[in-house]
Structure 1
Amino acid sequence: MNIKAMKRESVGTGASHKDRRAENIPGVIYGKEEGSISVLLNEKEIREVLKTQGDSAIFDVTMEDGKKLQVYIKEVQRHSLKNQILHVSMQTLKAGQKLTVFVPVVLENTENVKIGVLEQALYEVSVETVADKVPEEYTVDAGSLEIGDTLTVADLEQLPDVEIVEEPDTLIATVSAPRVEEEPEEDAADPEVIGEDKAK
């Protein structure tokens, strides 16, 4: 995926508000050769990158002068209450450079678990690899799990040139027994009212 970036001339809170009103997201690109470059990213384009690849996205940025940089996202700052991206920090990548990113973990065939409660404990896993080897996601078949069964990082597919950083016994998912609701106690007999005519 390739998005365009404009060099950001003005910085500060006021400039940031103005940029976001114009549907441009402030950002910075860090690199050993480039130093740090303050940029503006098109909000629609960066949202599409985050939607399809997540907060560890790897993509190309084309500068106004035509220079193309391959980058990965280091940090996305979001508004705590609004659905608003405030700032994106990116790091340049060189050919063959390894990086550590988070990859989503997706459970498949969960509808086949008929008895018990399937609970997912790990939704993403940390891996180390080069940019063009980063998997989009790991899928794990949970359809045959029964009560007491678990899935761990050791059950993930081993991909060439991709090292999973997590410990092999890290829990991904488990099936537990359904919780049994306690039966309500039967209502005690109505108390006898003193003086009530028992003959009624």
Structure 2
Amino acid sequence: MNTLKAEKRNMNVKARRLRREGFVTGNLFGRELQGSIPLKIAKRDVEQLLKTERKGGQVMLEIDGQTYDALIKEIDYNAMARCVEEIDFQALISNEKVHSVAEVVLLNHENVIEGVLQEILKEISYKAVPAALVEKVIVDVGNMRAGDSLRVKDLEISQNKDIELMTDPEAVVVSVSAVHNSLPDDTEEEETQE
């Protein structure tokens, strides 16, 4: 599990100024905390973390010498500036279920030659205790053909007794549709006459 160092943020300093100085702002909240803890984290540390973690990822958050087992709840990305501006965490309690999401990762999509692969769900929402958290759901689509589809209930995450699905088990995650790329006969005739 990754460790991320953060500092308590002085709320008298505006977020815009902190971002100019190379920080990402954020918050840590949780049931056992009184209010939330405003944070500032070095931008390079956040960028390093996000190479391996996403929303729903679990990290050890070190704030001024105290360590929290935390879940990445929200990442605010500024597409214009191409940077993360804010990242929020939830402090975890070992025996308490927490709401999270698992990223859907498709494998072997280059092997799908019959039809067009369509990823409909990019993440699956669920509840689980911290020990049972899942960051990614790996889906091998290499053997799928035109007309095939996979639903949430077909995936390994739905079989895990420690996970309570929040996403509808009947929801389609990925499907393969047939390719229709032939031109109608009358269009072909017009092209040959010109």
Q: TM-score range by the shorter chain?
A: 0.7 to 0.9
Give the Å deviation of 1:189. Answer: 6.4
In structure 2, relative to structure 1, the CA distance for the partners of 1:51 and 1:11 (3 Å cut) is farther
Larger Rg: 1
- Check conservation: 1:59, 1:71, Cα contact below 8 A: yes
- 1:71 aligned partner: 70
1:96 aligns to 2:123 (yes or no): no
Deviation of 1:95 (Å): 1.5
Displacement, 1:80?
4.3
Cα distance in 2, alignment partners of residues 77 and 115 from structure 1? 38
Aligned length: 187
Structure 1 residue matching 2:189: 3-state secondary structure: coil
Match of residue 197 from structure 1? none
Cα distance in 1 for partners of 2:91, 2:63 equals: 13
Asked if residue 168 in structure 1 is aligned to residue 169 in structure 2, the reply is yes
Identical columns (%) = 29
Q: Is the 8 A contact 2:56 2:135 kept in 1?
A: no
Alignment partners' CA distance in 2, 1:26 and 1:119: 36
| 1:161 partner letter | D
Contact 2:101 2:135 in 1 (8 A): no
Gaps of at least 5 residues in structure 1 are 191-200
Counterpart residue type for residue 45 of structure 1: D
Q: Which residue does 1:46 correspond to in 2?
A: 46
Counterpart for residue 148 of structure 1: 147
- Using the size of structure 1 for normalisation, the TM-score is 0.82
Pairing 1:1-200 to 2, within 5 Å after superposition: 1-11=2-12, 15-31=14-30, 32-64=32-64, 66-157=65-156, 158-183=159-184, 184-187=187-190
**In 1, Cα distance between equivalents of 2:164 and 2:23:** 36
| Matches of 1:98 and 1:22, distance apart in 2 | 37
CA deviation digits over 1:139-185, x for unaligned, max 9? 22222222211111111012241222222211011111112231534
Q: Which amino acid aligns with 2:163?
A: V
Q: What CA distance in whole angstroms lies between the structure 2 residues aligned with 1:171 and 1:185?
A: 37
Aligned partners of 2:165, 2:51: CA distance in 1, in Å? 23
Q: Is the 8 A contact 2:94 2:131 kept in 1?
A: no
Letter of the structure 1 residue corresponding to residue 59 of structure 2: F
Aligned-partner SS, 1:125 = strand
Shift of 1:127: 1.7
Give the TM-score normalised by the residue count of structure 2: 0.85
Using the alignment, how far apart are the partners of 2:90 and 2:140 within structure 1?
A: 34
- d(CA) in 2 for partners of 1:189, 1:116: 32
Amino acid at match of 1:186: E
Q: 1:128 to 1:117 in 2, by over 3 A?
A: same
User: 1:132/1:49 Cα in 2 relative to 1: closer, same or farther (>3 Å)?
Assistant: farther
The runs of at least 4 consecutive aligned structure 1 residues that moved more than 6 Å come to none
Residues 58, 69 of structure 2: 8 Å contact kept: yes
Q: For the Cα contact (< 8 Å) 1:28–1:89, is it kept in 2?
A: yes
Q: What is the Cα deviation at residue 72 of structure 1?
A: 1.7
